[in-house]
Amino acid sequence: MKRGGLVVFGLFLIINFLGFTSADACTLNASLINQDPYPAIPGESVKVIFQIDGVSNPICQDVYFEVKENFPFTVDPSSQNPITISSGTYVSKYSSFYLAPYKIRIDKSSLEGDIPIEVSFSSGGQQAVQINKEFNINVKDVKANFEVYVKNYNENTKKFTLEILNIAKSNIKALTIEIPQQDNFLVRGANRVVVGSLDSNEYTTADFEGTLKKGNLNLNIFYTDLINERREINKTIYFDPATFDEVNEVSQPIWLYILIPILIIFAGWMWYRAKKAKKKRLR
């Protein structure tokens, strides 16, 4: 009877011990809860926030969290990495978690799509185990790029047309072309033309008026990308008026064909008047 009582008492102690151990065990977890901007852009930075759960348990002691720097991601120097979180830390009025904001740089050669970023975290207790997890950061190159050419130039009217081709994968809005003041360009009228939207692999034109000289022509191209960010690209194109000499030579006879008949008619009219006046004097 005594032996049976001891067995029951022993089992009771074991169950209570296991329950106590389980209740006080350090259970950590991490999740990625925010990315800004979305999508992220190659060659720029993205702000992310990781949520670390379980840090309110004092048995965890110091909790270590680190973002692994693997291509195409590197941690910006403005962000602390790794970080140490004292156990018992939690966000007031929320669950027992810690928010870790990071600024991550993305290599300009990054591929597009969901790119995994690796983090690791562990507790400082006797049974510390390092946990590794991966989260996806969505990356897309929303920046545009353009090829620009002088499509035509009329030396007589001083009017010329630029042809702009969107060679990027992204569509853009509010495209604006500006020709800033420079030595080889004397503008007439507006030096900025609002074009509008331009889809990927499509082209548009912008008309300007002014005196162009042989040499480099600097352009400022403004547009709004898919994440409503206003961007600017500076382009330099080479202009040679000799390229359009044939066009200008062709346009000259047209004026001559119009002018010569007018001159002939005017000369005939003057001759007729002179002859008529002479007859009057002879009478």
Q: Which contacts (CB < 8 Å, 24+ apart) does range 144-151 have?
A: 144/168, 144/170, 144/172, 144/223, 144/225, 144/231, 144/233, 145/233, 146/221, 146/233, 146/235, 148/219, 148/221, 148/235, 148/237, 149/237, 150/212, 150/217, 150/237, 150/239, 150/243, 151/205
Tokens standing for residue 110: 């990054």
Mean pLDDT over residues 63-76, rounded? 97
Q: Look at the pTM and tell me if it is higher than 0.75.
A: no
Structure tokens at 255: 């004026």
| Helices and strands (H and E) in the chain: how many | 2, 16
Highest mean pLDDT among 81-85, 141-145, 253-257: 81-85
Exposure string for 251-271, b = 16+ CB within 10 A, e = fewer:
eeeeeeeeeeeeeeeeeeeee
What local confidence, expressed as pLDDT, does residue 21 receive? Answer: 42
Amino acid letter at 237?
A: I
Residue intervals of the chain classified under CATH 2.60.40.10 are 25-139
Helix, strand and coil content of the chain, in percent to the nearest 5, comes to 25, 45, 30
Task: Cite the residue boundaries of each domain of the chain with CATH code 2.60.40.1670.
Answer: 146-245
Task: Tell me the β-bridge partners of 218.
Answer: 236
At residue 165 the predicted structure's pLDDT band, cuts being 50, 70 and 90, is: very high
Give the tens place of pLDDT for each residue, 243-272.
876 555 544 556 656 777 788 888 877 877
Report the chain's mean pLDDT, rounded to a whole number: 84
CATH topology of domain 146-245: Immunoglobulin-like (2.60.40)
CATH of domain 25-139: 2.60.40.10
